[in-house]
Amino acid sequence: MTRVYNFSAGPSALPTAVLERARDELLDWHGTGMSIMEMSHRSKDYVAIAERAESDLRELLSIPAGYKVLFLQGGASAQFAAIPMNLLRDKTTVAYVNTGIWSKKAIAEAKKYARVQIAASGEPNNFCAIPPRAAWTVDADAAYLHYTSNETIGGVEFQDIPDAGGLPLVSDMSSNILSRPLDVGRFGLVYAGAQKNMGPAGIAVVILREDLIGEPMAATPSILDYRQQADNGSMLNTPPTYPWYLLGLVLEWLKEQGGLAAIEAVNVRKSAKLYAAIDRSPFYSNPVDPACRSRMNVPFRIANTELEKTFLAEARAAGLVNLEGHRSVGGFRASIYNAMPEAGVDSLIGFMGEFERKYG
């Protein structure tokens, strides 16, 4: 079997060591004679797995006291609705920063429950830049301020945590959580689907300040009620047990790499060399403002769009797969999350250079 370099934006590549360990433990987990997939979520063994995952996540992110960690179903998209349902309380307005497609999806869902104020928007610049914080207009009476820390499709990433102006700060971090250290204490709530940078599809993580738990809208389904989920240890119903286990293995792998500061250094090197290869070539281009280019998702184009199918076909033959840009924008996209080894980025850069020599 030959493994390829998988540049998929999600579900994305997992660390090889994690997959190998999961393979070895698949049929008989630690002498129990059964798979994790067959194990009751209420069993002593599984509860220990879940508790270890939470402990490791708290350690990696240095989550301060006074925060709950929830492991939930429905991906980040379910949280688009759960957040206003839980955090609106006696307010009528919520504030959102619009930096691309995933921001738009969160905004559209929030509009079902509250008046959404667009505090800032990158739309005038075709979502290739983030408006400076000084240009934002944030309603001081809003229930919270929401932003998407990394736009997977457009390749725009916040490099710093924005000032929330005294409001609870909420962030969708699905595609860059665990890629760098994070000051969790500056947030009211952080949420992320696992399938991009911390595990397989099927589970999402919500980290929220305890004073924000409670007082959900009356129509909030029990499964979206943060108080009920927190009181039941994220096991109000049967959780996605195997994705939770795999997420835990990814967290252990991250600790083995040296933690988030160490993985950030690798991510900086990977993205810097790929952007440098794009920028020094007249054949390739990236439209994003260098000040907010994503380390995780690198969109790029070639001058002659008629060569796109040839590029993808030859890349696949070279073991470089899932480089297609999102269907809404076209072009190419290399997603280089934590699990993408530096050798994979080097291989892509080498291929791009050879393709330019052949067709440029």
Query: Which CATH number covers residue 61?
Result: 3.40.640.10
Domain match, 44 and 87 both: yes
DSSP string over 128-158: SS---GGG----TT-S-EEEESEETTTTEE-
Note the pLDDT of residue 328: 75
- CATH classification at residue 339: 3.90.1150.10
Name the active-site residue from 136, 172, 244, 270.
172
Res. 327: pLDDT tops 80: no
268 domain-assigned:
yes
- Distance, in Å, from the CA atom of 207 to the CA atom of 168, rounded to the nearest integer, reads 13
Domain match, 147 and 264 both: no
142 domain-assigned:
yes
Query: Catalytic residue at 270?
Result: no
Name the active-site residue from 56, 196, 225, 270.
196
Domain count, the chain: 2
Note the pLDDT of residue 150: 98
12 domain-assigned:
no
Of 256, 273, 292, the domain-final residue: 256
Quote the tokens at residue 310.
């040839």
1 domain-assigned:
no
Residue type for position 197: N
Each residue of 87-137: pLDDT tens digit? 999 999 999 999 999 999 999 999 999 999 999 999 999 999 999 999 999
- Nearest by Cα to 95 from 131, 133, 130, 143: 143
Each residue of 22-37: pLDDT tens digit? 999 999 999 999 999 9
Quote the tokens at residue 340.
């993408």
Query: Catalytic residue at 136?
Result: no
Domain match, 89 and 200 both: yes
Q: Which domain holds residue 290?
A: 259-359
pLDDT band at 185 (very low <50, low <70, confident <90, very high): very high
Domain match, 37 and 98 both: yes
112 domain-assigned:
yes
Domain match, 152 and 215 both: yes
- Distance, in Å, from the CA atom of 156 to the CA atom of 150, rounded to the nearest integer, reads 6
- Distance, in Å, from the CA atom of 312 to the CA atom of 326, rounded to the nearest integer, reads 14
Query: Catalytic residue at 102?
Result: yes
> Are the beta carbons of 231 and 223 closer than 8 angstroms?
no
Looking at residues 203-232, what average pLDDT do you find? Answer: 97
> Are the beta carbons of 302 and 283 closer than 8 angstroms?
yes
Q: How many CB atoms lie within 10 A of CB 262?
A: 13
Segment (H or E) for 27? none
Name the active-site residue from 29, 102, 136, 244.
102
Of 256, 279, 312, the domain-final residue: 256
What size, in residues, is the chain?
360
Domain match, 241 and 289 both: no
pLDDT band at 326 (very low <50, low <70, confident <90, very high): confident
Of 232, 256, 280, the domain-final residue: 256
Q: What is the mean pLDDT of the chain?
A: 97
Residue type for position 326: H
pLDDT band at 1 (very low <50, low <70, confident <90, very high): low
Looking at residues 289-306, what average pLDDT do you find? Answer: 96
- Distance, in Å, from the CA atom of 211 to the CA atom of 208, rounded to the nearest integer, reads 9
Domain match, 317 and 281 both: yes
- Between the alpha carbon of residue 134 and those of residues 149, 159, 164, 170, the distances in Å are 18, 16, 12, 19
